[in-house]
């Protein structure tokens, strides 16, 4: 059985010339607040490191399953695959 992807992404041009980020980490995904906060911090860090290539996009990222520091590189690699290159 194939496991579901860790993240789901929606993107849309915003016409502002700079990217914006929205994060959704539901309680159903990670019950403990510290786990949800870690996931949001990790996703924000990826966004900070890659915002230069996201001209004028609104991105909403939803965590579908929990991840921790041991899976962080895999989650970032998944983001690299699913985030549109340079423009929305």
Q: Which residue(s) pair with 11 in the sheet?
A: 59
Residue ranges of E strands in the chain? 7-13, 20-24, 57-63
How many other CB atoms are found less than 10 A from the CB of residue 7? 20
Highest mean pLDDT among 3-7, 38-42, 53-57, 76-80: 38-42
Q: What is the pLDDT of residues 30-42, one digit of tens each?
A: 999 999 999 999 9
Confidence tier at 1 by pLDDT (50, 70, 90) = very low
Q: Which two tokens stand for residue 52?
A: 């230069």
Q: Which residue(s) pair with 54 in the sheet?
A: 86
Alpha-carbon distance of 29 to 37, in angstroms, equals 12
Residue 44 main-chain phi, psi, to 5 deg:
-65, -40
Computed over every residue of the chain, the mean pLDDT equals: 89
């Amino acid at each position: 059985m194939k496991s579901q992807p860790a993240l789901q992404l929606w993107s849309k041009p915003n016409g502002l010339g700079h990217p914006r980020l929205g994060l959704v980490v539901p309680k159903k995904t990670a019950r403990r607040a510290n786990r949800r906060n870690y996931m949001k911090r990790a996703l924000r860090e990826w966004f900070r490191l890659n915002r230069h290539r996201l001209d004028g996009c609104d991105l909403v990222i939803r965590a579908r399953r929990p991840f921790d520091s041991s899976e962080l590189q895999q989650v970032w690699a998944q983001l690299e695959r699913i985030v549109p290159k340079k423009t929305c």
